[in-house]
């Protein structure tokens, strides 16, 4: 299935958010580490949705810090300013999924343009990619900061579409977030939802064209 470019979500798709757990455990103890990471991520996304709906944009670094404060309070965990800063900085050190490097290398070897479209700020996204070693395998990194709206707002996908200068049907979009896959499908991209955890299918339509468990499967779909 031929495409000219492959657009990747970053956090949770190329970079493993669960790799925060080690740092969180070192700061607050291991007992609540996994739960804190999940609550932190859920609230981070909820605040992104809310800020877009309210038309009161705040960048993802700000929302990440606010979401951390909520998660700490919800779990009745105390953390001083230094600990909070250390936890937020852990987003720069997220580990790449093992299949991320392989997939990006495979697409590059086939002459496909590979880019990231992220809710993250440009500085955080680029630093995280550099630390992960994935930066050299991507041609561009684009942030919602440019439109001051968060995915799945169509303006975000339009940003990538304009930059690539292609019909949406010639662009593959890959995300591990079901709501992101739905939003990109509604925009018209050819979407692969990388459902690593085997989560239940989203019931909001339109569904993604492809549901896979690994990025290697994405390569097989879009490598022609």
Distance CA 88, CA 56 (A): 22
Low-confidence residues in the chain, pLDDT < 50: none
Boundaries of every domain in the chain? 5-16+94-222, 17-92
Under CATH, which number does the domain 17-92 receive? 1.10.150.240
Residues 41-80: pLDDT tens digits? 999 999 999 999 999 999 999 999 999 999 999 999 999 9
Distance CA 106, CA 137 (A): 10
Cis peptide before 206 (omega within 30 of 0): yes
Would you say the C-alpha torsion 155, 124, 19, 40 has a positive or negative sign? negative
Using DSSP's 3-state secondary structure scheme, residue 146 falls into: helix
Question: How much is the pLDDT for 110?
Answer: 94
Residues marked as catalytic: 9
Question: How much is the pLDDT for 1?
Answer: 64
* Fold annotation for 5-16+94-222: Rossmann fold (3.40.50)
Residues 83-106: pLDDT tens digits? 999 999 999 999 999 999 999 999
| Residue 150 tokens, joined | 């968060």
**pTM of this prediction?**
0.96
Is there a contact between 166 and 5 (Cβ–Cβ < 8 Å)? yes
Backbone angles phi, psi at 61, to 5 degrees: -65, -40
């Amino acid at each position: 299935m031929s495409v000219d470019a492959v657009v990747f979500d970053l956090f949770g798709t190329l970079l493993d958010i669960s790799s925060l757990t080690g740092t969180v455990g070192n700061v607050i103890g291991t007992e609540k580490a996994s739960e804190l990471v999940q609550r932190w991520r859920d609230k981070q996304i909820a605040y992104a949705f809310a800020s877009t709906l309210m038309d009161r944009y705040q960048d993802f670094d700000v929302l990440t810090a606010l979401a951390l404060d909520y998660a700490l309070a919800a779990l009745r965990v105390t953390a001083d300013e230094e600990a909070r800063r250390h936890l937020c900085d852990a987003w720069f050190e997220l580990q790449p999924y093992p299949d991320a490097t392989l997939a990006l290398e495979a697409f590059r070897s086939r002459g496909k343009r590979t880019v990231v479209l992220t809710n993250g700020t440009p500085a955080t996204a680029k630093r995280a990619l550099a630390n992960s070693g994935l930066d050299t395998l991507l041609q561009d990194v684009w942030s919602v900061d440019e439109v001051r709206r968060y995915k799945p707002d169509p303006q975000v996908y339009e940003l990538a579409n304009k930059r690539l200068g292609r019909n949406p049907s010639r662009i593959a979009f890959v995300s591990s977030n079901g709501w992101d896959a739905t939003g990109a499908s509604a925009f018209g991209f050819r979407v692969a939802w990388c459902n690593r955890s085997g989560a239940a299918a989203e019931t909001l339509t339109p569904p993604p064209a492809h549901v896979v468990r690994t990025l290697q499967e994405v390569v097989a779909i879009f490598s022609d």
